[in-house]
Structure 1
Amino acid sequence: MFLKKILLAGLVFCSFVMYGQDYFPANDGVKSKNENYTVFTNATIHTSPTETIKNGTLVVQDGKVVRVGKSVSVPANAITVDLSGKHIYPSFIDMYTNFGIKKPKRAGGGGRGSQYDNTREGYYWNDHIRSEVQGIDDFEYSSKDAKAYIEAGFAVVATHQHDGIARGTGALIALNSEGNTANRVLDQNIAQYFSFDKSNTSRQSYPTSKMGAMSLMRQLHHDLDWYEKGNVNTKDLSLEALTRNKSLPQFFEGDDVYDAIRIDGIGDQFGLNYVIVAGGNEYKRIADIKKLNRTFILPLDFPNAYDVEDPYAAAYIDLADMRHWNQAPTNPKQFETNGIPFALTTFKLKSPKEFKGQLMKAIKHGLSKEKALAALTTVPAQLLGKSNEIGSLKSGAWANFMITSGELFEAKTKLYEHWVQGQKTVVKDMNTVDIDGTYTMRMAGTSYTLAVKNSTGGKAGFILKDGDDDIKSEGKYANGWVNLTFPGRGNKFVRLVGQVINDRFTGKAVLPNGDEESVSAARVAAEDDKKGKDKKKDDDKAPVIMSMTYPNIAFGFEQQPNQEDILIKNATVWTNEADGVLENTDVLIKDGKISKVGKNLSAGRARVIDGTGKHVTSGIIDEHSHIAAFAINEAGHNSTAEVRMSDVINPDDSDIYRNLAGGVTSIQLLHGSANPIGGQSAVMKLKWGASIDEMLLEDKKFIKFALGENVKQSNWQSFSRFPQTRMGVEQVFVDYFTRAKEYEAQKNSGKPYRFDEEMETVVDILNEERYISCHSYVQSEINMLMKVADRFNFRINTFTHILEGYKVADKMAAHGVGGSTFSDWWAYKYEVNDAIPYNAAIMHNAGVVVAINSDDGEMSRRLNQEAGKIVKYGGISEEDAWKMVTLNPAKLLHLDDRTGSIKVGKDGDVVVWSDHPLSIKAKAEQTIIEGTVYFDINRDLQLRKDVKAEKSKLIEMMLAEKKKGLKTQPAKSKEKQRLHCDTTETIH
């Protein structure tokens, strides 16, 4: 605020001074306002990306464009600059920087405690909502940083504090090196900014995950609505700022393509027109991005090639990472091709100096030059609401323009001068002649060759040779003249001076004895000699781009697979119905549903799969899975009922494919066990390559609860969050259910109420509209939660893990709760010491619906074998054991009306096995979901060869990059993280 006050005072002072200078004499004599014009003539003027004037004239006065056109009269009091053969372009605008903004000081503290409450009075309840921040308050102009932007073509930047989830407003700054803060600041509050990243200024724990950040954003907007309606007596400065800045452009930073989809969801829910800052991999799902109907800001931080010379190191690079190197530069082109509006930014680059190289790479990969110019000029100007001031050369706009040697986006084009608000910065002297090349000359009876490099780059380089021998020389090139000193024969110095005119060096050599000798030499080769020409030819070649797949990683589909009518003939069919196991039976899938089950069925036009000697079952269902997710726990509070696993689904997780190879067709993606009341589940079908929406079964509403060691943080070395005991866990449940009843009563009363996403979810539980799957081990807590449910008149749906379920199986059956357990895990932590491998059988025999789950990305693809163990432990029949990974989890997930058995009318989710499905020899040969084959063992064998061949091609391309001298990054192994109940992440 201090800087802001100084700025305002400065503006008032400046206006006073201008008034005085216009109308009153100064103490040291009469001064008048400078009303001279600067006129640029005979240039090719690109007034906008679509308008060009040849031999045009640009008239500038007082930092503004006065006139521009082909037939423009030159004012009498004008300085005229002849730009024959040169071009003028409007300057670039970068909408997303932190130019001149000081980084906030990181919050101190630490240790084993966590901060759960906010630290600021009068602001929003979460410290990471900092909408009241104004970037201008932390702004300080940096000449050094401004120079880098100016030399990269930027005259104006929008800058803000890159800190927090709601980041406040930014300022629009002109990079005028001759100006002051008052005239550089074009707008103090140009836009409002958001991200999913926490603030460095606070240690407040919540949120710890991206799904928590999303929930916080949703609740923020509910609270804003409540606040704006006058329902809060105290002033909240964060919400006040959000209200005040509603009309500004709204920018939301994402990390990848799925962040864009998340941001769009928040925007759609609350009617907010977010401009999305892209992550750089949107090309992977460009059709989904197009459907969002949003505008984007695209960084150009394309990755360097990997150094793959070491074949052992290269073997560890994932194909997806190799592809991203190859395909990322096509991202802007994909936006252009699909008609998605976008601007470009230097964001994520180490320096603006890298920008031109990355932009040229994007153009080489298909981005049109016209669209590139628009994305740097007119588009950002329009998005910022400043089209009349910046982004084009029109009358009344700021005189922000570049003078170049040729067309802007040509490799050899040089930026000579950059004018910002009518003030000139010389980048390269436009009067310096390019004398690069090789010259042959004879002096003092000796023939020499002289190579000149970088003559227009500010510091020319000279290489002098006598035959093949290099001669140490010292030289310089300035004002069109070459001066060179070198030892001649006898090691005595020769001094050479001259200039290059029309490709000929003309001058004189002063010999060691003082004699002068005229020298004349023709330029026999410019710098693009044969080697340079070969390089240019190589550079002009269209880059080879690997084909996209769905998903765009190894084993993806070149085209999305289609639903088919499928007839499986002569198989052993495990129906999971009263018919039991049927020999030599056919199964017909039509329109995604099981149409017929019987013998000698007619194929019609259906695809036929020979099932002779094979087994056909319904698809395996994993009731407790943590695959296909970017995060598992939101650990910031003891209840996070508001968070949604559907917000963090990763449809590109290779474990989806591996699970399909193990016969798994559906999963419940569960929140972890960091808190007594966890997040909402995502029940989904493993449709490899499909979109998130196509995978989700949104009508299935579940939530994760947890008991025991994890929720009381026994093994986390944290002693600050309630609960710390098993007794405290019970109290959490009672408190939240009591609050939910009070919330519902208020909601049903007809009186105004604050919409609370967390309470809405808990109310759904009380009304049995959302079902609990509870992480559990110890019998005392299992009993406790059933009693709490009885007290509040609802039923627990599933106890998952439930390794002491055998101790309370009768009570579970009476309550009507199912058990989803491991086959034979025990003793991996203290509270499972009493686990036994007969657990599933004992619960089953007591009448409990029992499922076998994985809780593990590796075990999940062997659940058929895990079911086989139940036959050994407890004497369960093969059919009942098989139901524990198919029909029973379908019942627990309320999916048994759709899947879990082979019955006419159910979804065509079936697996063709090579052998008895409970055998360790059995392989899933085809895994089918709703009549679409998502895994085929023969296709898998071919894909393994294809992956190897594609990696070899990419390695060759990377080796060629290194050979050209381009930057590389070290080859590194990226080990896949297996997510479990206790996996936590920390968002920055």
Structure 2
Amino acid sequence: MTRRLYLLMLFLFSITISAQEYFPKNDGVKTTNNHYTAFTNAKIYVSPTQIIENGTLLIKDGKVVATGKSVAIPKNSIVIDASNKSIYPSFIDVFSDFGISKPERISGRGAQYDASREGFYWNDHIRPDQNAIDFYKYDEKSASDLRKAGFGVVNTHLQDGIIRGTGTLIALTPNSTDASRILENKSAQYYSTRKSVQSRQSYPNSLMGTMALLRQVHYDAKWYANGNVNNKDRALEAYNTNKSLVQIMDAGSKINALRFAKVGKETNTEFVFVGGGDEYENIIEIKATNASFIIPLNFPDAFDVSDPFLAEGAGIADLRAWNQKPANPKILAENNVPFSFTLKGLDAAKDLMPNLQKAIQYGLGKTKALEALTTTPAKILGKENSIGSLKNGAYANFLITSGDVFDKNTILYQNWVNGEKHEIHPMSTKDIRGDYNFTLAGETYDLKISGDIAKPKASVSSKDKKLGTILSFKDDWLNISFTSTDTTSKNLTRLVSKISNPKILSGKAILPNGNETSFYAKRAESKEVSEEDKKEEKDTPKVFPITYPNEAYGFKTLPQQETILFKNATVWTNEAEGILEQTDVLVKDGKIAKIGNNLKHGNAKIVDATGKHLTTGIIDEHSHIATSAVNESGQNSSAEVSIEDVIDAEDVDIYRNLAGGVTSIQVLHGSANPIGGRSAIIKLKWGETADNLIYKNSPKFIKFALGENVKQSNWSSFNRFPQTRMGVEQMFIDYFTRAQEYIAKKKSGKPYRKDVELEVLAEILNEERFISCHSYVQSEINMLMKVAEKFNFKVNTFTHILEGYKLADKMKEHGAGGSTFSDWWAYKYEVNDAIPQNAAIMHNNGVTVAINSDDAEMSRRLNQEAAKSIKYGGVSEEDAWKFITLNPAKLLHIDDRVGSIKVGKDADLVLWSDHPLSIYAKAEKTIIEGVTYFDIERDLQLRKEMKAEKNELLNRMLQAKNKGLKTIPIKKKGNETFHCDTEAEHIH
């Protein structure tokens, strides 16, 4: 080893151990750097709200010693004059995967309980034992990109699993070791809605399954912590330990943030949410969570709408998102929701500042913007005393800029991290960008210098002809070469200038013939900006109003409850009074107040219903609209999951169903497993939040299923019990036997492990929860009734039940109802015996019969589906109408509230233009609890308004493209329709 190499290695080693004073030093002379560094005459942002003009920042050993206007500078200080410069705290990203490789996905799908991590929790997707520190490796290339974007610290973690384990707080310093870079080994515990890619374990495969699993982990961890488990579980131990850390959930959208806020409340977990940039749409509810948010700045690009035919495919919700999302940070700030920014979703770190400048243009205050990059992320991590500001004792993490950090013309000179300087652009860098012209050999040239300040580019033109140009700029020496206007000449003209004044270029020019001369070019003053352009730059862009929900057919303001008097209607009461001609109905305080003739009410809104029909709202006993998930198929029993967790109040099918006279539905789990998930019974209150849709004091229901789907004969799983109809029966017996044992444990008074799945099954045995069972074949329907009778409960409703006519007498004896299709048959093998007289035969045998949809399109015309039983089965008009109103209300145990027009019941009403069982009938008004959620006249007006709004948004996108902004192709979104057998789920 040469002496020079040895000394170099010794020097580098001395740097790496500067923070490790306890390390022995036996191989040479130990020296310590004890000097201070003082930055004087700067505008110092100690914090976003504490600013010092012409101040001094004093640092030593990687920490801030003092800031102020009259700081005493020690003698052993390096003094840097920062006149006309600004100093800001470096930025922080709380949600990063810096230095951690993306885990590789394992292909295939395994069995439901095929956990591969022995000694850990039974579910592979629960990984609180993962620690980012064990996977992290410093990456200087990424660190350099982050520093150039202004970041000094990132909180990194392994982005894999539902519970992902702990993060690590990293300072982005290359000339040190992890001993000083790592500011906190375990800084937060991370969660997500997505499974681990490192496991084939199938459960959960839905969002509601994820939510149920998080609840069960919470109960199991408490059970484990109390010493009730003999085995060692490293995952639960880590989970219990990590609960003292900040808990960060990657929700990805405002609707998921609201959902997991409820899970957090149930499990005593205070989440910080990684949002989706759409929080503005439900800002009142977002604020009510009292949570902090980590917000991405990946605003949508404009669509390329130059083709008018393709432009028709752009949805109003997507067009609005392009216009509205840049205002999200402003709206969060106005509502005092704490938030920080993250690079998540951006292609590169350098994309942060342009998008942040856009948010500022849309009204975000610069103080709030700076807080979101500095003090707020520090506070989220509980590190406000050490990072995010330049207060005394904090890490010396700061930026030196030429001015306002958010100005697009500001130059970032240096990013200091832990007191270590990283030069982005030399402070002596001269900005030569601009427009010049000069004359050589009698010919006039135009020179334009643009691009990055440190790597400018040039274009030269003459006589309106653009010439090939090369520019280099280094150490204040400018060299420009450009081709001749004479195409026959292959020689270049070369310009050389030493830059002292960036507004003037002067020096030597070498002509194509080799002759030398001098040249002089002065930068042109900025062109006068027109008043119109000035106004455009100054004004906040127009943001279109938010509607409820914020998509097609949304309300500008939520409709209010009214007192309404319907005059002279044909009233279908569904009560003993039958159909009443020319009758008045008064609606007050959301209830049916009076029914009679010549009713009067001074403050009522009068609706002339002469020649029209007034009915109670249609009730669909079996639907899959208004949900983000339908099946949790990862296990043969998913009683622990609930559709209430994943209600989607923004599903446009709600509005479409209102237009078909539907006011209430049961949103059912699918039929992927014998014991499915719990139902949600909701009212279609378009524009309200998910919680406000669910019936108050809702009856408890759960979905069971029989037939082909549950034994997986039509979706090729073959790795889950049961595989036969015999196995389905044994599974029911096994689970209810376990539920009996669970009840006995609870009653014993001894400690027991809370199991949400068995809690739900116990409710069935205790007659506190009702079953709606997907069914087709006579033998299986008989089987389930016998199983139920063995365990002393009843099956409430057999849904589909296209062979119900074969055993209607047994259903009556058992006490089961039937909710069926009007005339579906032969769409799969077990439906071959279906007949259109099915509903009528069950009805004639005393079974409570409903006609259901199981289909988002059919539910819009259930009135016509009910009419088919008149044609095929000869039932009366009133009984046919009850098939979709009073009877489903009875099956759902809500007939005391809805299902008929009776004084005291909820005012859930539909005004029809014609006989309600006619194909010509239109729902003119659909009212829920005295609130008009659909009005056919408003609908027509809305279509005109949406057309005008869409046209204006398309024009704005065209203008954006003409200005050179990036555009993307239109991706037309189909409205995915769920059915019983839909297996694939949207995890987000």
Question: In which range does the TM-score fall when normalised by the shorter chain?
Answer: over 0.9
For residues 221 and 486 of structure 1, what CA distance do their matches in structure 2 show? 70
2:159 paired with 1:162: yes
Cα deviation, residue 759, structure 1: 0.5
Q: 2:449 pairs with 443, 452, 474, which one? A: 452
Q: 1:318 pairs with 315, 319, 322, which one? A: 315
For residues 288 and 410 of structure 2, what CA distance do their matches in structure 1 show? 38
Amino acid at match of 1:839: N
Q: How does 1:237-636 map to 2 (within 5 A)?
A: 237-454=234-451, 457-486=453-482, 491=489, 494-498=493-497, 499=499, 501=501, 503-510=503-510, 517-526=517-526, 529=527, 538-636=536-634
For residues 525 and 578 of structure 1, what CA distance do their matches in structure 2 show? 88
**SS where residue 54 of structure 1 aligns?**
strand
Amino acid at match of 2:749: G
**Cα-to-partner distance string for 1:500-533 (whole Å, 9 max, x where unaligned):** 527333334355677654443332234xx35899
For residues 273 and 558 of structure 2, what CA distance do their matches in structure 1 show? 27
Cα deviation, residue 985, structure 1: 2.1
**SS where residue 841 of structure 1 aligns?**
helix
Q: Is the 8 A contact 1:116 1:636 kept in 2?
A: no
2:904 paired with 1:901: no
Amino acid at match of 1:506: S
Q: Is the 8 A contact 1:319 1:951 kept in 2?
A: yes
For residues 262 and 827 of structure 2, what CA distance do their matches in structure 1 show? 40
Amino acid at match of 1:439: Y
The CA RMSD measured in Å over matched residues stands at 2.0
For residues 481 and 814 of structure 1, what CA distance do their matches in structure 2 show? 99
Q: After the TM superposition, which of the residue ranges 71-80 and 383-392 deviates more from structure 2?
A: 71-80
Q: Is the 8 A contact 1:94 1:154 kept in 2?
A: yes
Say if 1:263 and 1:502 are closer, same or farther in 2 by CA, change over 3 A: closer
For residues 525 and 370 of structure 2, what CA distance do their matches in structure 1 show? 34
Cα deviation, residue 13, structure 1: 10
**Cα-to-partner distance string for 1:446-480 (whole Å, 9 max, x where unaligned):** 333332223x6222222333343334444422222
Cα deviation, residue 440, structure 1: 2.8
Say if 1:571 and 1:938 are closer, same or farther in 2 by CA, change over 3 A: same
The unaligned stretches of length 5 or more in structure 2 are 1-12
Q: After the TM superposition, which of the residue ranges 262-271 and 663-672 deviates more from structure 2?
A: 262-271
For residues 945 and 509 of structure 1, what CA distance do their matches in structure 2 show? 65
Query: Which residue of the partner structure matches residue 672 of structure 1?
Result: 670
Query: Which residue of the partner structure matches residue 946 of structure 2?
Result: 947
Amino acid at match of 2:143: A
Say if 1:606 and 1:532 are closer, same or farther in 2 by CA, change over 3 A: closer
**Cα-to-partner distance string for 1:677-706 (whole Å, 9 max, x where unaligned):** 100000010000011111101421101000
2:98 paired with 1:80: no
For residues 870 and 11 of structure 1, what CA distance do their matches in structure 2 show? 90
The percentage of aligned residue pairs carrying the same residue is 58
Q: TM-score, normalised by structure 1?
A: 0.95
Say if 1:534 and 1:426 are closer, same or farther in 2 by CA, change over 3 A: farther
Query: Which residue of the partner structure matches residue 930 of structure 2?
Result: 931
Q: Is the 8 A contact 2:703 2:774 kept in 1?
A: yes
Q: Is the 8 A contact 1:623 1:851 kept in 2?
A: yes
For residues 531 and 832 of structure 2, what CA distance do their matches in structure 1 show? 74
Q: TM-score, normalised by structure 2?
A: 0.95
For residues 855 and 654 of structure 1, what CA distance do their matches in structure 2 show? 16
Say if 1:524 and 1:120 are closer, same or farther in 2 by CA, change over 3 A: closer
Q: Is the 8 A contact 2:19 2:180 kept in 1?
A: no
Q: Is the 8 A contact 1:295 1:342 kept in 2?
A: yes
Q: How does 1:616-695 map to 2 (within 5 A)?
A: 616-695=614-693
**Cα-to-partner distance string for 1:873-898 (whole Å, 9 max, x where unaligned):** 11100000000000000000001101
Say if 1:17 and 1:166 are closer, same or farther in 2 by CA, change over 3 A: closer
**Cα-to-partner distance string for 1:300-345 (whole Å, 9 max, x where unaligned):** 1111111111112111111111111111111111111111111111
Query: Which residue of the partner structure matches residue 5 of structure 1?
Result: none
2:180 paired with 1:191: no
Amino acid at match of 1:524: A
Say if 1:494 and 1:234 are closer, same or farther in 2 by CA, change over 3 A: closer
**SS where residue 79 of structure 2 aligns?**
strand
2:205 paired with 1:202: no
Q: Is the 8 A contact 1:57 1:71 kept in 2?
A: yes
Amino acid at match of 1:338: N
Query: Which residue of the partner structure matches residue 3 of structure 1?
Result: none
Q: 1:221 pairs with 218, 221, 239, which one? A: 218
Amino acid at match of 1:146: A
Q: Is the 8 A contact 1:313 1:972 kept in 2?
A: no
Amino acid at match of 1:606: A
Say if 1:583 and 1:278 are closer, same or farther in 2 by CA, change over 3 A: same
Query: Which residue of the partner structure matches residue 920 of structure 1?
Result: 919
**SS where residue 316 of structure 1 aligns?**
coil
Amino acid at match of 1:387: E
The unaligned stretches of length 5 or more in structure 1 are 1-9
Query: Which residue of the partner structure matches residue 770 of structure 1?
Result: 769
Q: Is the 8 A contact 1:97 1:347 kept in 2?
A: yes
Amino acid at match of 1:18: E
Q: Is the 8 A contact 1:11 1:182 kept in 2?
A: no
For residues 928 and 512 of structure 2, what CA distance do their matches in structure 1 show? 90
Q: Is the 8 A contact 1:631 1:984 kept in 2?
A: no
For residues 979 and 513 of structure 1, what CA distance do their matches in structure 2 show? 77
Say if 1:181 and 1:742 are closer, same or farther in 2 by CA, change over 3 A: same
Say if 1:19 and 1:224 are closer, same or farther in 2 by CA, change over 3 A: closer
Cα deviation, residue 27, structure 1: 4.2
Amino acid at match of 1:700: P
For residues 452 and 665 of structure 1, what CA distance do their matches in structure 2 show? 65
Query: Which residue of the partner structure matches residue 982 of structure 1?
Result: 981
For residues 933 and 545 of structure 2, what CA distance do their matches in structure 1 show? 19
Cα deviation, residue 16, structure 1: 10
Q: Is the 8 A contact 1:435 1:500 kept in 2?
A: no
**SS where residue 692 of structure 2 aligns?**
helix
Q: After the TM superposition, which of the residue ranges 354-363 and 663-672 deviates more from structure 2?
A: 354-363
For residues 510 and 108 of structure 2, what CA distance do their matches in structure 1 show? 72
Q: Is the 8 A contact 1:197 1:987 kept in 2?
A: no
Q: After the TM superposition, which of the residue ranges 733-742 and 424-433 deviates more from structure 2?
A: 424-433
For residues 858 and 284 of structure 1, what CA distance do their matches in structure 2 show? 27
Query: Which residue of the partner structure matches residue 94 of structure 2?
Result: 95
Query: Which residue of the partner structure matches residue 787 of structure 2?
Result: 788
Q: Is the 8 A contact 1:198 1:987 kept in 2?
A: no
For residues 609 and 314 of structure 1, what CA distance do their matches in structure 2 show? 40
**SS where residue 59 of structure 1 aligns?**
strand
Amino acid at match of 2:684: L
Say if 1:952 and 1:513 are closer, same or farther in 2 by CA, change over 3 A: closer
Query: Which residue of the partner structure matches residue 709 of structure 1?
Result: 708
Q: Is the 8 A contact 1:805 1:819 kept in 2?
A: yes
**Cα-to-partner distance string for 1:17-51 (whole Å, 9 max, x where unaligned):** 63467xx6x645x3420112222111111110001
For residues 503 and 567 of structure 2, what CA distance do their matches in structure 1 show? 82
**SS where residue 735 of structure 1 aligns?**
helix
Amino acid at match of 2:817: G
Amino acid at match of 2:629: A
**SS where residue 21 of structure 2 aligns?**
helix
Cα deviation, residue 97, structure 1: 0.6
Query: Which residue of the partner structure matches residue 845 of structure 1?
Result: 844
**Cα-to-partner distance string for 1:56-114 (whole Å, 9 max, x where unaligned):** 1111222221221111232222222211111000000000011111222322445xx64
Say if 1:536 and 1:346 are closer, same or farther in 2 by CA, change over 3 A: farther
Query: Which residue of the partner structure matches residue 50 of structure 2?
Result: 51
